Amino acid sequence: MDNDKENQQKARARKAANREPFQFKIPGRYQLLLVTLFCIGLITITYSTDLLTTPLSRTADYLVAPFQNGISKIGRWFVTQDQLHENIKDLQAQNQELREENDALAIENNSLQQEKYELQELRKLYALDQQYPSYEKTGARVIAKDTGNWYHSFIIDKGTADDLDIDMNVLSGSGLVGRIVDIGEHWARVEAIIDDDSNVSATVLSTKDNMIVSGDLTLYESGLIAFSRLTDADQNVTAGDKVVTSNVSDKYLPGILIGYISEITNDANDLTRSGTLTPAVDFAHLDTVLVIRALKQTAP
């Protein structure tokens, strides 16, 4: 009997051990009802009080606002970069337009400067032409020169096709440049009076005393040319007197201005005088010249 009771107790104990624990379960319809009531309660509290909105707004201020600010800054940065890129493109286009306009203006300005320079040269040639109205002349442009600083020998752009000939006199500035010594159909070589091989029979305009004007490239470094054999027994010739080509010159037409006496001294023979004169032409800057279409007439 005792064993049977003991066995029954052990069986009940094993049955109790194998039994599932108690679980509290709420039916699904009641769960839905509770959730609905909870939502309605939250809605009511939200609309009637700030009990929930204030903590949420503060939480948003701390969490959401910085994020929004960061996103906003990034957006503004992209917008700024895009605008900057567009501005750079616009500035580059404007810069290119300005460069093209500047180039066009530079070309136009150079053209106007050239025209102005040519007009000034033509005015000088016209004024020079008016000083010797009795001679027929033609204008020519210097197109080449020999080596050196001075235009002691140079080429002009007219020749026999323009009715020019050897020994025709060449003018520029305020007076005599030289004469043609070689010629072609469309070119001519001019030897200037400052050349070492040049000698010009000249006369002092105020006294009619004759002299010889000789070229000297070394002396022209000082802007002067030499004269000699001045027959001035009474010593009437002084610095500043005009010197022109003489009537007895075999190559040069008479009365063409050569220059002005700058210094004069007595020769050792006490019969003649020598010195230097300042030429009427700037032989460092020659661009255009006048050629007299006439030759000095000499006896056979």
pLDDT at 76: 77
Q: What is the mean pLDDT of the chain?
A: 84
Out of 112-126, 127-141, 171-185, 283-297, which region has the weakest mean confidence (pLDDT)?
A: 112-126
Out of 65-79, 102-116, 121-135, which region has the weakest mean confidence (pLDDT)?
A: 65-79
pLDDT at 257: 96
Q: Which of 231, 149, 237 is nearest to 194 (CA)?
A: 149
Q: Which of 249, 241, 226 is nearest to 179 (CA)?
A: 249
Per-residue pLDDT tens for 137-189? 999 999 999 998 899 999 999 999 999 999 999 999 889 999 999 999 999 99
pTM across the whole model: 0.64
Higher pLDDT residue, 198 or 101? 198
Chain centroid offset of residue 280 CA: 34
Higher pLDDT residue, 4 or 94? 94
Measure the CA–CA gap between 138 and 128, rounded to whole angstroms.
Answer: 12
- The number of beta carbons lying within 10 Å of the beta carbon of residue 230 is 26
For 170-226, give the DSSP string: EEETTEEEEEEEEE-SS-EEEEETTSTT-EEEEEETTT--EEEEE--TTGGGGT-EE
Higher pLDDT residue, 44 or 291? 291
Taking residues 26-54, what's their average pLDDT?
Answer: 69
